[in-house]
Amino acid sequence: MATLSKQFSASPRRHGYPLICMAFVGLFLMATRGHSATAADATKIADSSVAATKKAAETPAETPAEKAAEKAPAGYQRSRFRIPMRDGVHLDTFVLAPTDRSRSYPILLARTPYDPSAKWTDPGPAFAHAGYIFVTQSVRGRYGSEGRFIQMTPYKPVKRSRTDVDASSDTFDTIDWLIKNIPRNNGRVGLRGISYGGFYAAAGMIDAHPALKAVSPQAPQADWFAGDDVHHNGAFLLASAFSWLASCDRRSDDSRTCASIAPLATDGYKFFLAMGPLRNADKQYLHGQSPEWEIMMNHGTYDKLWQERNLLPHLRDIRPAVLVVSGWYDANNLYGAVHVFDAVRRNSPHTPDTLVLGPWTHGQWAHDKGESAGALHFGSATSVNFIQNIELPFFEAYLKGDAKPDLPVARVFDTGRKSWTSFDAWPPKTVEKKTLYLRAHGSLGFEPTQPGGVAYDEYVSDPANPVPFVRDHGFDMDPDYMAQDQRFAANRPDVLTYQSVPLTEDVTVIGPIQPRLVVSSSGTDSDWVVKLIDVHPEGIIAPGGTAGAADSNGFQELVRGDLMRAKFRDSLSDPTPMQPGRPTNIDFTMLDVYHTFKKGHRIMVQIQSSWFPLVDRNPQQFEDIYAAKAQDFRKATQRVFHSPDHASHIDLSVLPPGG
């Protein structure tokens, strides 16, 4: 997804590089044999006369056509084609090919719903020097491509006619045309994409064209309700969804392009609080211009729409080699990356499948050296390391070489030690299970809770005064919010804080984090936010402390944070209310980590019931939140239990020394 920030169409944190896909190989080959597209079927547009795409952005800007006419990188020549799909729709496609005619080159394809000629589409020096035919295509219904754009296009497992199309079939048809019509290609194709482009890359792996040899879904969107850009465990990611849809889902433009729109406010916290309930967003700001916003407001549970958009069940029998990439601080699609990797691993056990997780925000590995994220510094150029030692060797091996790259199953970065490690499984098999217990008086430890003492901690959650998710109240989902100091929240009365004594030895936590809370509320629904934090030395909740560099006194480093909307605790499809005052189990799984809490540091857990405006406010009443009125939002008294009978805790996997 792109965001409502300074420049949406070329936003580096939600751009997309695409991927390839195919559907029903045998059936399709039989249906299309003797009907292959030829160069005559596509319209090649000379660089000097490229037509402008559909409608201009709301803010005057250089059109994709004008950008396409710019000078190509040294040693490359740019062309533009309209490639026919099986149903007669033509997709706008840019080709950047080496001018050297002495040898053949593999094709590296990206399919995107974003500006296909923006700066992010440049191949980068490492890949440009290696030599590829770079292809960037606007997906169906976006920018210069014909057809209708459908968000998270559902995969169609059975294709009975040429009109049964999806992202998989469009990728298949594109590859088929490219290898038959682009001069000096070697018959091998790679596919990659970031964010929404990562979705198209993952979709392209399904029923793949035989020429597709290697695919890299990077920060791929996979399931918009369970854990990617739009929802986490059913809770709506307000700031992110509103910003992106206002820019990139405009009915007046047939949802074809992303507009360059200035933020509506500098203080997102105040803006969204003043907006009121979600039902006011369209009335006050969107004015019926976002079809997808309307869809989301009418699909508040994990119903058929969301289930059909979920790509993960279809990642079976994958034939191309796979390289899945994301970052530990990827606020958008770490969920998609981990689950795409896992789906391929489980359902295509003989397919080479590598996972890379670096210390990056969303897409950061593609647009800077990866030396830092927010206040955190890593001591090396981690993005350069990834491109030179993982990404380029992956494509070189499968598209030019013997298909035997020397790659591990998982290459991951320890955000505590600031170093890379390779594993032969993810999560590693050599872990020890540990339990962190919440205890009375704000203590936290690996020993079970003892009888006696206070049985619970209590706070009042007020929807009119929600806990902010960042200290500076940014408008959108700050790309580095997961790397920001958490001291701004630690002393609020509606945030419970538990922390350990200083560690006497390093503790390396690896894999998913599993909160197991026992809670109650005076309301019938609540959000339960859990944050796992590394408190740097002498960092005992400094009152009035300010965020600073990670090596400053008492920095509270967010290792992982997520939430469960209580009504979805048993099912995302069939919500159920809480019973006021009754202890209730809230069990969920937070995304993976690889972090060493060093000797002398403390482990902290914060628990709260709002995270605004990252997540929409919960009225704390069991109802359809998308239709809630202002009077429905009420204060609630929240309790977190930590007695032996109701022992709230967090299950972790710890890597033993030498493991």
Structure-token pair, residue 157: 């497992």
CA dist 90 and 501 (Å) reads 63
CA dist 195 and 1 (Å) reads 7
The residues with which 499 forms a beta bridge, in sequence order, are 443, 604
Indicate the range of 167-181, 246-260, 271-285, 417-431 predicted with least confidence.
246-260
The residue to which tokens 């397919």 are assigned = 351
Tell me the DSSP string of 93-120: EEEEEES--SS-EEEEEEEESS-TTSGG
Beta pairing class for 419-423 and 372-373: unpaired
pLDDT over threshold 60, residue 10: no
* 3 state DSSP class of 485: strand
Planar angle of CA 536, 537, 538, nearest 5 degrees: 115
Beta pairing class for 353-358 and 321-327: parallel
When pLDDT is averaged across residues 235-244 and rounded to a whole number, the result is 95
Planar angle of CA 95, 100, 104, nearest 5 degrees: 75
The residues with which 43 forms a beta bridge, in sequence order, are 82
In sequence order, which residues have a C-beta less than 8 Å from that of residue 30 and are 6 or more positions away? Answer: none
Q: How far is CA 513 from CA 444, 588, 642, in A?
A: 16, 9, 19
pLDDT over threshold 50, residue 129: yes
What is the separation, in whole angstroms, between the first and last Cα of the chain? 37
Structure-token pair, residue 203: 């979709």
Convert the pLDDT of each residue in 407-439 to its tens digit: 999 999 999 999 999 999 999 999 999 999 999
Indicate the range of 61-65, 366-370, 461-465 predicted with least confidence.
61-65
pLDDT over threshold 60, residue 556: yes
Q: How confident is the model at residue 479, as a pLDDT?
A: 82
Convert the pLDDT of each residue in 622-636 to its tens digit: 999 999 999 999 999
pLDDT over threshold 70, residue 446: yes
* 3 state DSSP class of 165: coil
Q: What percent of the chain has pLDDT over 90?
A: 79
Q: How confident is the model at residue 480, as a pLDDT?
A: 84
Q: How confident is the model at residue 547, as a pLDDT?
A: 46
pLDDT over threshold 70, residue 513: yes
**Phi, psi of 156, deg, nearest 5:** -105, 105
Tell me the DSSP string of 530-552: EEEEEE-TT-S--TT-----TTS
Please state whether the predicted TM-score (pTM) of the whole model is above 0.85: yes
At 544, is the pLDDT very low, low, confident or very high (cuts 50, 70, 90)?
A: very low
At 476, is the pLDDT very low, low, confident or very high (cuts 50, 70, 90)?
A: confident
Handedness of CA 593, 598, 599, 603 (dihedral sign): negative
Q: How confident is the model at residue 72, as a pLDDT?
A: 85
CA dist 47 and 72 (Å) reads 10
Q: How far is CA 200 from CA 76, 219, 221, 302, 623, in A?
A: 26, 11, 9, 22, 35
User: What is the separation of C-alpha 307 from the centre of its chain, rounded to a whole number of angstroms?
Assistant: 18
Dihedral through CA 232, CA 446, CA 593, CA 575, nearest 10? -10
Residue closest to 469 by CA, chosen among 517, 531, 424: 531
Structure-token pair, residue 59: 């803010």
Instruction: Report which DSSP code applies to 72.
Output: P
Q: How confident is the model at residue 1, as a pLDDT?
A: 54
Contact indicator for 95, 135 with CB cutoff of 8 Å: yes
Q: How confident is the model at residue 30, as a pLDDT?
A: 26
| Cis peptide preceding 125, ω within 30 of 0 | no
Q: How confident is the model at residue 57, as a pLDDT?
A: 27
When pLDDT is averaged across residues 504-531 and rounded to a whole number, the result is 98
CA dist 413 and 396 (Å) reads 23
When pLDDT is averaged across residues 42-61 and rounded to a whole number, the result is 34
When pLDDT is averaged across residues 336-358 and rounded to a whole number, the result is 98
* 3 state DSSP class of 597: strand
Q: How confident is the model at residue 658, as a pLDDT?
A: 75
Domains and CATH numbers, the chain: 25-49+63-218+311-370+379-414 (3.40.50.1820), 432-481+491-528+560-655 (2.60.120.260)
Please count the residues of the chain. Answer: 659
Convert the pLDDT of each residue in 153-176 to its tens digit: 999 999 999 999 999 999 999 999
Q: How confident is the model at residue 364, as a pLDDT?
A: 96
Convert the pLDDT of each residue in 73-97 to its tens digit: 899 999 999 999 999 999 999 999 9
Convert the pLDDT of each residue in 11-22 to its tens digit: 333 333 333 232
pLDDT over threshold 80, residue 578: yes
At 8, is the pLDDT very low, low, confident or very high (cuts 50, 70, 90)?
A: very low
CA dist 253 and 250 (Å) reads 5
Q: How confident is the model at residue 553, as a pLDDT?
A: 78
Is the pLDDT higher at 106 or at 547?
Answer: 106
**H/E element, 585:** strand 584-587
Structure-token pair, residue 68: 């396409």
Contact indicator for 292, 321 with CB cutoff of 8 Å: no
